[in-house]
Amino acid sequence: MDTIETIKEQIAGNDILLYMKGSPNQPQCGFSAQTVQALMACGERFAYVDILSNPDIRASLPKYANWPTFPQLWVKGELIGGCDIIMEMAESGELQTLVKEAAATQSAS
């Protein structure tokens, strides 16, 4: 399976997916750390992919997503954005709503 297929499968298989540097417990960059904190504050489980240990995904995802930077948050198959967007959404309460709705449909299915 090529890398783009892997990415598509990961996005399709996880309602809330974060592509990040490192892991939620040990983020390897400040932007990933901020994004994880905002996501964890929503109180729902989310999947993640460490792009540092997946260089093929790190190289291919920006082209696939048409988004050059990491982290990248995907919810229900849609790219939400990176750290700045996530932080703005967290401040406005949009992120909590989005994540809770995605988690609710995930547990219902």
Q: What is the pLDDT of residue 1?
A: 75
Q: What is the pLDDT of residue 18?
A: 98
Q: What is the pLDDT of residue 31?
A: 98
Q: Which fold has domain 3-99?
A: Glutaredoxin (3.40.30)
Q: What is the pLDDT of residue 106?
A: 64
pLDDT in tens, the chain (109 residues): 799 999 999 999 999 999 999 999 999 999 999 999 999 999 999 999 999 999 999 999 999 999 999 999 999 999 999 999 999 999 999 999 999 999 998 667 5
Q: What is the pLDDT of residue 109?
A: 59
Residues contributing to the annotated binding site: 21, 29, 58, 70, 83-84
Which residues are paired to 48 by β-bridges? 18
Residues contributing to the annotated binding site for glutathione: 21, 58, 70, 83-84
Segments making up each domain of the chain, as ranges: 3-99
- Reported pTM: 0.95
Q: What is the pLDDT of residue 36?
A: 98
Residues contributing to the annotated binding site for [2Fe-2S] cluster: 29
